[in-house]
Chains A and B, each alone.
Chain A
């Protein structure tokens, strides 16, 4: 899927990932898909929306739909006062903000350490994961934007 696309575009078999932490787990987004990183501020709640929709917010004059990745991944909610960050991405011309816990460094990873999803991975996670990278001492799950939205938008937001 899109990880293959990246393979084609990435230089010398390696891709740069913006790493983020969601509920203690390290995730990586291909840097080409990340538009900005921001602190979600004054998010307007959208009643009746799917539970993972944290709300809508104004990011420099654009309306961004914020998606709580913890909800999306069926993880427990973070503490009331915990610091949150958001990664701005674009999907089919619309702006979305993925609300995550913290943003880490940018990693350049070669395809050597890439592996497909383990077959026993929780199917709700496997649904949005484009594979796993073996890093020193930890694993990084690749967030596949296309699949993330494919699973959410098309079936009319399966709540």
Chain B
């Protein structure tokens, strides 16, 4: 029964899609009896099957819809309302079917009385309409109509009986199989027994298998009968998609093996295998084509829902819209088809909503009131071109411009230089929507960028042409299939890579003395190609090879440039060698490698080697980020000013104010103080020349800020307790004054040990103490534990933290552990340093920073091939599994709590030992 049900579901869903389309057509030509008959028949079949399968809810609904359509057939006028209602009913049926599928055959609870009663009401009023008409004609018509209605109403309780005629027959057939079984099974058994040492389990198995096949045969027969009964074409058979996918995989393997054989024969000139292999090669090619064909579906399948969508849109927006579809029979790969469906729907919606004007506006400019959207598809050199065209207002360049400025995507001066076409392309930017009003149809800011992403995901590209006042058209170019692609095999850095031909525009050979040579604009390689400058990047550079290697390779200035085009971006990728093109079978990478955006998959070449397939989109985005870093260099001045501003405008810090020794207030950031304590002076003990107190079961050394500080002789002694890794130190103070929230701008530096400098806090000059000076007084090795590492001495570490205090705090910690530390206060400044060519062996970055936070900083680093390999460590006050996970995704190598100094040192040490391992 399950098979039957799933068969029913697929068939019904298909029928319903047809009904959708037909109904829209029918609404336009209500007199076309053929269309109506077709709809009527389909709905009737659905109703019948539902009755047989025991799905009363569906049956009732389908029946009510059928009744209404029966009225149309009898000449009742077709109203928009009625068609809408039927369409709604069809939607409801689809919903129920979807639930049915998920629930595995159980009809969902619920009632459709609302729809049924409306359908019946319309049926009745339609009848009266027909009656009135008939009466006017004074014909026998009314009787017939009324008679039919009664019949229809009466039919409902009776129908199970009616349907079961068909089904009885089917039931008979099924019963037949079961009767056959006992006969067949014994027949199988003796045969098996006849073999002397056939073990008994085998007999059972053989019997069972036979039973299964018999059953399957029976079902198949029944299905076939059923199909021919409902006049579905018997010219085609249904094959599970899985089977086709498997077939495709096998053919892919065959292609690979053939390539291998060809490779072998290529090496043996006079091989006798040559001729049969040629034949095998041809057969394989034909087989490949054949199997590909089974996966091919007319693009019309993806268009099926569009007429209905356009009709609904037309009503919703109050614009008459006509949808023209050309080339629906153009075939393309199933997989591609699935992926193109949603973008297409989106574009149609866009055209209807933004593209077409309101009827009144159209009339004003002398266009027909009804707007036209044309959807066409055709083949062009291994690609499918799909065009969505409307005859609306076209893209409003001025509005796009103002939006671009508003969003800060480009400056006014830049826009001035752009052609209209370049400006149009801004609509593909993320979050760009020209609709001033957010309608239910579009204008939610998820628009063309999503479409473009989807299209590019399948290796396609999208283009746009628009003429103001005459309409716009979107042109999508997508590959025929994704499974087997033609690729150019290139070499870079000693490894071979495959570049999909689709994105390769041309190959240019460069030599020092030839017409084409690599030129440089401040270290950025470019190529003069037909009076245009083509930005270049070396493949090994993209793949993270060392800078020095790449430069020497580029300096030699010989090699090949693969000119690639991705979307509207054209660039050249310099490779060391170009081999040949090969049909490659794209195999997905393992999940461990899927995070690499530079590759789209891998494949096995004819010679048996595995090579990585370059993802043109990944290269393009790497190019873009590379380009932006070059731009950043040009804007250095601005950045420098910004940094200066950032220094002035530091965020405020909680400071603890206290007095010790002198009367001037002193300050320390509150976040570092573990707790404030007061001890009885009598509790302070003296041992080994220093003051100690017993604190939480251990001896805590006391440190005086000023050696000349007066020791109290009675009462209590306030102190600040600093704890770290189980050790505590008490900093003796005279008086705790206040806790204030203020900016810590150290205005006057200090030469005195233990004082960072003076800052104005609460309008008073305050000394900010340097904790890094006092902590080692309590424990000499506070910062230098066993982590001290000779190897670390040569390592340069960049510390990025917006808080001056933490910079001052951590710099000595890292220095004490032997690292050469450079501190900077923002990600911008860090980029500055990196761009200046300062190299660092590791970067330690705070997460919570203004402007560019640590995650963004790290992601930016990871996007840049130059810094991709630099270990980056996150330092954060917030350490939760979620934030750690976020850190990992951003590309951080480790995530350490801000106060976990030993953790920081251990993590750095770990990174470097790991890195040494790589280098070795």
Contact A46 to B587, CB < 8 A, known contacts A53-B592, A61-B256, A74-B914: no
Chain B min CB distance to A9 (Å): 22
Contact A48 to B596, CB < 8 A, known contacts A58-B609, A155-B885, A159-B893: yes
Contact A63 to B602, CB < 8 A, known contacts A44-B609, A58-B610, A158-B888: yes
- Measured between alpha carbons, how far is A56 from B603 in the docked complex, in Å? 10
Is B592's CB under 8 angstroms from A153's CB? yes
Chain B: CB-nearest residue to A53: B592
Contact flags A26-69 to B (C-beta < 8 A → 1, else 0): 00000000000000001011111111010011100101010100
Chain B min CB distance to A63 (Å): 5
Chain A min CB distance to B257 (Å): 8
Q: Does A139 contact B (CB under 8 A)?
A: no
Contacts of A95 in B (CB 8 A): 590
Chain A min CB distance to B637 (Å): 33
Is B595's CB under 8 angstroms from A157's CB? yes
Q: Does A92 contact B (CB under 8 A)?
A: yes
Chain B min CB distance to A102 (Å): 20
Q: Does B917 contact A (CB under 8 A)?
A: yes
Is B609's CB under 8 angstroms from A50's CB? no
Category for how many chain A residues contact B: 20 to 34
Chain A min CB distance to B286 (Å): 22
Is A44's CB under 8 angstroms from B591's CB? no
Contacts of A49 in B (CB 8 A): 592-593, 596
- Measured between alpha carbons, how far is A94 from B601 in the docked complex, in Å? 14
Total count of chain B residues near the partner, CB < 8 A: 37
Interface residues of A in 70-109 (CB under 8 A from B): 71, 74, 76-77, 92, 94-96
Q: Does A132 contact B (CB under 8 A)?
A: no
Q: Does B889 contact A (CB under 8 A)?
A: yes
Interface residues of A in 102-158 (CB under 8 A from B): 149, 152-153, 155-158
> Which residue of A42, A48, A153 is within 8 Å of B609 (Cβ)?
A42
> Which residue of B590, B595, B868, B889 is within 8 Å of A65 (Cβ)?
B590
Contact A44 to B917, CB < 8 A, known contacts A61-B253, A157-B595: no
Contacts of B257 in A (CB 8 A): 61
Is A50's CB under 8 angstroms from B917's CB? no
Is A48's CB under 8 angstroms from B598's CB? yes
- Measured between alpha carbons, how far is A158 from B892 in the docked complex, in Å? 8
- Measured between alpha carbons, how far is A149 from B587 in the docked complex, in Å? 21
Q: Does B608 contact A (CB under 8 A)?
A: yes
Is A51's CB under 8 angstroms from B914's CB? yes
Contacts of A46 in B (CB 8 A): 593, 596, 599, 612
Chain A: CB-nearest residue to B605: A58
- Measured between alpha carbons, how far is A50 from B612 in the docked complex, in Å? 15
Contacts of A155 in B (CB 8 A): 885, 888-889
Contacts of A152 in B (CB 8 A): 592
Contacts of B418 in A (CB 8 A): none
Chain A min CB distance to B68 (Å): 50
Contact A153 to B591, CB < 8 A, known contacts A46-B596, A76-B917: yes
24 interchain pairs (CB within 8 A)?
A44-B495, A44-B602, A44-B609, A44-B610, A46-B593, A46-B612, A47-B598, A47-B612, A48-B598, A50-B592, A53-B592, A57-B610, A61-B257, A61-B604, A65-B593, A67-B592, A92-B591, A96-B590, A149-B592, A156-B595, A156-B889, A157-B593, A157-B595, A158-B888
